[in-house]
Structure 1
């Protein structure tokens, strides 16, 4: 990775500052984006952190977590659920350690929000195509090609995607919560309706008063 490339602030993304920001007083600091660097080479950690040290997206800076093996990476992801991006080396303790981590993140940890960018020092065209098709990753780079500017672009794009997914997931949870609350039953030990919502009563074809005390299985035909 080329660390000599210009890292001046002109290509960093900052949020627009309101005209009356000085009058409003200092705004509370926003939580940083958590970025997990997974690589068995300490120098890669140092260079990556240096290259992204001034990056800022949506008013939030970056906070770096470090893992030097697949097992360490999975442990961090299990205990730190708000990791937004994983910069993941392919070859670590084994030639496919990074690929196994990528698959475990999705299949075992069921984490479909975190963005995964694979990096390798030994690319092959056929292998790269196969990885992109077979693994749920978001980008794949050869380390020698991933300059400071390209790394920054990749990271910001990944954070933008993560933010969009988190917002969509939050909205879906709100909608599901409203649906759960609108169709609601409370049953006693014998399965009789103790309390129910108006929406639930309407679905069962009766009123709240007429359905209370009935067994749920028999309530669909209260007559």
Structure 2
């Protein structure tokens, strides 16, 4: 019997990328994802190397399915799924429900490490539009992971709904006597001050998912 050939560097790169992608997102990459991220010249070269990995027993692939790759080994880090329920921008309210159950239909899901599992039923995610929190390293296109709570402390980053204007914004919160100050992390922007009764807290930031491709 002919001995099995060792993995090429390209095949090792593909295997590592697939495993990391599944760990990060909870589902496998497409052929195009692999081509772009592993800097491979064409999708046919990707398919050739996937066939070789399948022959070596390291994965299976359903060629008719866009994300039909399955590794024989399980991802290293179990994931919890968090719904991405909308975009947080001034003037654009987003849906939030009164209980801890989410309707997952038509929602994107974000995979997070299981060290967030103690908060799983209270977590949701929002895509960020704008630069008001840029000095807190939260930029346009990033995603914030929110804990659904109304109990927050001064200095927490929160999703705050301005009731009279039906607007939702991402800011640091400070309670000042009868008012609430919503403080941006951008020296070019001014703080927003409202009567406390005009602000509804929709959640606080517990993590940030950076978009490094923007």
Greater per-residue strand proportion: 2
Greater per-residue helix proportion: 1
User: Could you say which TM-score interval applies, normalised by the shorter chain?
Assistant: under 0.3
TM-score (norm. length: structure 2): 0.25
Higher Rg of the two aligned structures: 1
TM-score (norm. length: structure 1): 0.24
